[in-house]
């Protein structure tokens, strides 16, 4: 049990001792009949142990073998039940485990299984004696619930002791969803018990397929849950990277403090480990270490960089940054408490801090840790307004403030560990190598006389109005950047993301036209265009490396005031005239590399400055990450909604598209046709030529449908050889012609694949609004009409008539119910 805390060790030993005691006290009961029944259930429990699924968020799994432990509770002795629990638990722990199982882990698993099995067995027999067996289903539900609670809470307990999180929180996050699993298990166990009474315990093996279905359903559920958690984590990570980049940009105003945040983060992580903070509290503290000064965006830079003592008014301005920082971070919706730490990181132990004047333990523990660490590292680092002092002297000052500014417990841990943490920073290759070597040496530097950077005469000439306007401009810039980064991750639609980005950039940059290009293989394609010459920009196809935007994407370097005339395929055309005279272009570089380029154009020559470039670069990295995520999401959505063989929509996407088209038709009061097509003779193709040829026929059929579909139409494969087409705005006469074209393409596809003419199609058509007002009604009616056509086709074959594929211009067309059509 090396590496576990004292409480965790005591917890495991307690379970182990209780398990041993139960085994010693359990009376043996091994008559010959029960032995073979015991052996049978033991083998089934071990065999079904491989049917297990991984628990979300923890290193554990759940198996269906517990069903046979519940069955043993109803039919076998206590020692036999416990032994079956051992076998199933051991097999579940060892089988298919990619990592080596530690002895302490195995001992705990076996002991907690013993306790849970014994307690369940005892409760079952006590309840059975009270009810005289009259309420067996209720008794089984109760004992399954007890087994579930003992199993899950015992595991949640050891996890809570290891991670320092509350045990109920761990149980709720990782185990509460398992209750239906055990409820189903209780039903299966009751069924096995009743079968034993009626036909014998040997037939219990027939329940294994049921257990496999239960296992498969839970595995599918957990896979979907894992995908959703991954998506949520990616979005949260995008938000964190966006805000973190802004925080690092603030620190980068002073080249001597650019590593401050990283050092503080390392310090607080180590202190949190010493104080045994929970996992969520530690994550919150690590995030707050990076983001605690983000509110300084609201503080004018001249105050932050002032070399002398701040005035009372300037200090009041400084004091707003914890409040502003907490307001900014509230927009991120962190899953752990970052905001309270950021808001309170300047509170003092004696209540003299700001912004809320909290005192003692009213201050969040994370804020108390961050406050002491931030002070220590700031004093030991060079700043524009003062030199660094040796780390030892800085630590002495922090110790002197214990009980005044800082929590004494935090100071005690910091004093004991700060040299070790400095060693960790050096070993890890801290980005502050030269700074640390200079700032953390033994002797303090002599006082430095700093020259006055602003001429007095010029300073006197600055009017109060201009000063206020400069501060207002800085605040406006901060607010606009904040809004842009906050909203970037709100949508996973590429169109919405790019439209929102262009809208946010307009107040910051003086452009007349904007184009956002996406890199697709070796070509830059416009994904969003707005402003002057919009139609022309939309048609551009820029080879990578050519033109202004293509060069920026290939070289990963921006261009300021470039010539729009060099854009490939656009302004070199003599027939095209434009008023655009200058361009600013930056690459959009995400985690996977360059995803495109963002280019803005102006009608004024040399319209863009380096300051405009700075603003565009500040947002381009976040925009690139958001665009990359949106593209991945769209690709995943497209793949999930497409039939893999034919590339047409699948059934799920068909209903979604039909609902969307019906909404448009209701708004515009236009008709809509839904056509269901079934291939006659497809089974014969598979039987005679094989499934590969059948697949080829399906692919050619899909291509034929796409060829005859308009841009507004949607074709889908509903399954097998059945297809559906949505045709908005189509009249009955036009639908007849379209059906003929579809039928002819299917006949031609069959002739191309088989060389013979025995493939045709039965087609049913329903119209909105006469045949139905929603997707289900229209598809049901079209499907019914299709089957009427197919029935007529088969009736002809039954009567011995040879069914020849009719020429496409003369199929048999019948009127169905309402305005529906039947074509065969």
DSSP per position, 529-575: EEETTHHHHHT--EETTSHHHHHHHHHT--EEEE-GGGSTTTTTSTT
Helix (H, G, I), strand (E, B) or coil at 201: helix
Nearest to 400 by CA among 389, 387, 378, 415: 415
> What average pLDDT score do residues 14-26 get?
80
Q: How far apart are CA 228 and CA 644, in angstroms?
A: 23
The answer to whether the bond into 355 is cis (omega within 30° of 0) is yes
CA distance 178 to 675: 44
Place of tokens 């003092």: 348
Cα-flanking dihedrals φ and ψ of residue 760, to 5°? -140, -160
Distance, in Å, from the CA atom of 547 to the CA atom of 569, rounded to the nearest integer, reads 9
pLDDT at position 397? 92
Mind listing the pLDDT tens digit for each residue in 194-248?
776 666 655 556 666 766 666 677 667 667 766 776 776 677 677 667 666 666 6
User: What's the CATH fold of domain 6-205?
Assistant: Arp2/3 complex 21 kDa subunit ARPC3 (1.10.1760)
Listed range (67-81, 254-268, 437-451) with the worst mean pLDDT? 437-451
d(CA 203, CA 192): 8
DSSP character at residue 255 = G
Domains 6-205 and 651-823 share a fold: no
Mean of all residue pLDDT scores within the chain: 77
Helix, strand, coil % in the chain, rounded to nearest 5:
60, 10, 30
Cβ neighbours for 558, distance < 8 A, ≥ 6 positions apart: 552, 584, 585, 586, 587, 613, 616, 617
Q: Whole-angstrom Cα distance, residue 80 to residue 137?
A: 23
Structure-model confidence comparison of residues 198 and 641, the more confident one: 641
Which tokens hold the place of 748? 């031609």
716 by DSSP, 3-state: which?
A: strand
Q: Report residue 526's pLDDT band, with 50, 70 and 90 as the boundaries.
A: confident
Report the half-sphere exposure of 354 (CA within 13 A, side-chain side). Answer: 11
pLDDT attached to residue 29 = 61
Residue 110 in this model has a pLDDT that exceeds 60: yes
pLDDT reading at 674 higher than 90:
yes
Question: How many Cα atoms are found within 13 Å in the side-chain-facing hemisphere of 802?
Answer: 3
The answer on pLDDT for 471 being more than 90 is no
As a whole number, mean pLDDT of residues 302-320 equals 75
Mean pLDDT value across residues 528-555: 86
The listed range with the strongest mean pLDDT (100-114, 147-161, 354-368) is 354-368
Rounded Cα distance between 728 and 731, Å, is: 9
> Looking at residue 55, what is its pLDDT?
58
Q: Where are the domains of the chain?
A: 6-205, 252-439, 487-633, 651-823
Distance CA 687, CA 677 (A): 21
Mean pLDDT of 172-197: 73
Higher local confidence (pLDDT), 335 or 384: 335
% of residues, the chain, pLDDT over 90: 13
Taking the C-alpha atoms of residue 707 and residue 699, their distance in angstroms, rounded to an integer, is 12
- Radius of gyration over alpha carbons of the chain, in Å? 36
Using the predicted structure, report yes or no on whether residue 344 has a pLDDT greater than 90: yes
Are the CB atoms for 536 and 579 separated by under 8 Å?
Answer: no
- Going by pLDDT thresholds of 50, 70 and 90, the confidence category of residue 341 is very high
Structure tokens at 816: 């169905």
Q: Please name which of 294, 271, 292, 297 lies closest in space to residue 282, comparing C-alpha atoms.
A: 271
Contacts of 346 (CB under 8 A, 6+ apart): 319, 322, 353, 354, 355, 371
Quick one: pLDDT at residue 465? Answer: 34
What whole-number percentage of the chain has pLDDT above 70? Answer: 74
pLDDT reported for residue 78: 80
pLDDT band at 653 (very low <50, low <70, confident <90, very high): confident
Question: Any idea of the CA torsion for 456, 460, 465, 471, to the nearest 10 degrees?
Answer: 10
Query: pLDDT at residue 820 above 60?
Result: no
Contact 482, 507 (CB under 8 A): no
Judge contact between 716 and 654, C-beta under 8 A: yes
CA 673, CA 821: separation in Å to the nearest integer?
A: 10
- Residue 399: both structure tokens together: 């110790």
Predicted local confidence at residue 730, as pLDDT? 86
Q: What is the pLDDT of residue 448?
A: 29
- pLDDT category at 132 given cuts 50, 70, 90 is low
Fold of 252-439: Hypothetical protein af1432 (1.10.3210)
Range 487-633 has CATH code 3.40.50.2000: no
Q: Which CATH superfamily is domain 651-823 in?
A: Reverse transcriptase/Diguanylate cyclase domain (3.30.70.270)
Its pTM stands at 0.38
The confidence score (pLDDT) of residue 3 equals 60
- The residue with tokens 């943490």 is 421
* pLDDT the model gives residue 688: 87
Least confident of 349-358, 367-376, 569-578: 569-578
Q: What is the pLDDT of residue 246?
A: 62
- Check pLDDT > 80 for residue 133: no
Kindly report, residue by residue over 399-410, the tens digit of the pLDDT.
999 999 999 999
Lowest mean pLDDT among 226-230, 479-483, 706-710, 749-753: 479-483
């Amino acid at each position: 049990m090396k590496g576990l805390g004292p409480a965790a060790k005591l917890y495991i030993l307690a379970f182990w001792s209780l398990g041993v005691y139960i085994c010693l006290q359990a009376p043996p009961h091994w008559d010959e009949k029960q032995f073979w029944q015991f052996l049978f259930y033991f083998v089934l429990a071990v065999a079904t142990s491989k049917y297990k699924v991984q628990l979300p968020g923890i290193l554990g799994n759940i198996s269906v073998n517990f069903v046979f432990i519940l069955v043993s509770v109803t039919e076998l002795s206590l020692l036999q039940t416990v032994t079956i629990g051992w076998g199933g638990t051991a097999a579940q722990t060892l089988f298919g485990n990619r990592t080596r199982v530690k002895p302490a882990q195995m001992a705990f698993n076996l002991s907690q299984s013993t306790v849970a099995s014994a307690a369940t067995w005892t409760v079952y027999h006590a309840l059975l004696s009270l009810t005289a067996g009259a309420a067996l289903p209720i008794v089984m539900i109760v004992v399954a619930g007890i087994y579930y609670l003992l199993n899950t809470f015992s595991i949640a307990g050891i996890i809570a002791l290891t991670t320092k999180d509350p045990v109920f929180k761990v149980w709720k996050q990782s185990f509460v969803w398992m209750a239906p699993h055990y409820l189903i298990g209780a039903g299966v166990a009751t069924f096995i018990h009743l079968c034993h009474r009626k036909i014998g315990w040997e037939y219990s093996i027939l329940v294994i397929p049921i257990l496999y279905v239960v296992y498969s359903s839970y595995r599918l559920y957990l896979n979907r849950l894992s995908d959703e958690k991954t998506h949520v984590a990616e979005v949260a990570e995008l938000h964190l990277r966006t805000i973190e980049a802004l925080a690092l940009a603030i620190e980068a105003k002073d080249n001597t403090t650019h590593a401050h945040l990283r050092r503080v983060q390392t310090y607080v992580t180590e202190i949190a480990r010493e104080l045994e903070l929970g996992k969520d509290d530690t994550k919150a503290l690590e995030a707050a270490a990076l983001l605690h000064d983000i509110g300084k965006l609201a503080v004018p830079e001249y105050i932050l960089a002032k070399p002398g003592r701040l005035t009372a008014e300037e200090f009041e301005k400084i004091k707003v940054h914890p409040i502003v920082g907490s307001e900014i971070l509230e927009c991120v919706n962190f899953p752990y408490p970052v905001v309270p730490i950021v808001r309170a990181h300047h509170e003092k132990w004696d209540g003299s801090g700001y912004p809320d004047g909290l005192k003692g333990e009213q201050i969040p523990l994370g804020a108390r840790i961050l406050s002491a660490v931030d002070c220590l590292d700031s004093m030991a680092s060079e700043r524009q307004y003062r030199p660094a002092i040796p780390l030892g002297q800085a630590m002495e000052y922090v110790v002197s403030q214990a009980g005044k500014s800082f929590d004494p417990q935090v100071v005690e841990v910091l004093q004991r560990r700060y040299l070790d943490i400095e060693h960790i920073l050096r070993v890890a290759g801290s980005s502050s190598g030269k700074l640390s070597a200079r700032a953390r040496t033994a002797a303090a530097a002599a006082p430095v006389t700093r020259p006055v950077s602003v001429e007095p005469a010029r300073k006197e000439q600055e009017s109060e109005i201009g000063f206020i306007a400069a501060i207002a401009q800085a605040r406006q810039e901060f607010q606009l950047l904040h809004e842009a980064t906050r909203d970037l991750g709100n949508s996973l639609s590429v169109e919405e993301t790019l439209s929102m980005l262009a809208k946010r950039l307009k107040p910051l940059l003086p452009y007349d036209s904007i184009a956002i290009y996406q890199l697709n293989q070796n070509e830059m394609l416009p994904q969003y265009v707005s402003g002057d010459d919009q139609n022309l920009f939309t048609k551009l196809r820029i080879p990578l490396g050519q033109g202004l935007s293509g060069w920026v994407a290939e070289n990963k370097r921006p261009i300021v005031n470039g010539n729009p005339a060099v854009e490939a395929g656009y302004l070199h055309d003599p027939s095209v005239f434009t008023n655009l005279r200058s361009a600013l272009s930056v690459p959009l570089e995400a985690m996977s590399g360059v995803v495109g380029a963002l280019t803005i154009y102006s009608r004024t020559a040399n319209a863009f400055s380096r300051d405009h470039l700075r603003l565009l670069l500040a947002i381009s990295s976040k925009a690139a990450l958001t665009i990359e995520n949106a593209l991945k999401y769209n690709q995943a959505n497209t793949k999930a909604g497409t039939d893999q063989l034919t590339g047409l929509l699948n059934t799920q996407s068909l209903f979604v598209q039909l609902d969307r088209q019906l909404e448009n038709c209701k708004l515009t009061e236009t008709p809509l046709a839904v056509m269901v097509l079934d291939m006659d003779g497809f089974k014969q193709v598979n039987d005679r030529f094989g499934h590969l040829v059948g697949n080829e026929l399906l692919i050619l059929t899909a291509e034929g449908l796409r060829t005859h579909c308009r841009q507004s139409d949607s074709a889908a494969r509903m399954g097998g050889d059945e297809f559906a087409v949505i045709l908005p705005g189509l009249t009955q006469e036009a639908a007849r012609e379209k059906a003929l074209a579809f039928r002819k393409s299917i006949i031609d596809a069959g002739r191309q694949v088989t060389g013979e003419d025995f493939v045709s199609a039965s087609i049913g058509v329903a119209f909105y609004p006469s045949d139905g007002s929603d997707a289900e009604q229209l598809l049901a009616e079209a499907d019914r009409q299709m089957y009427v056509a197919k029935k007529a086709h088969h009736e002809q074959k039954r009567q011995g008539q040879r069914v020849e594929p009719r020429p496409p211009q003369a199929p048999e067309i019948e009127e169905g119910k309402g305005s529906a059509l039947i074509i065969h």
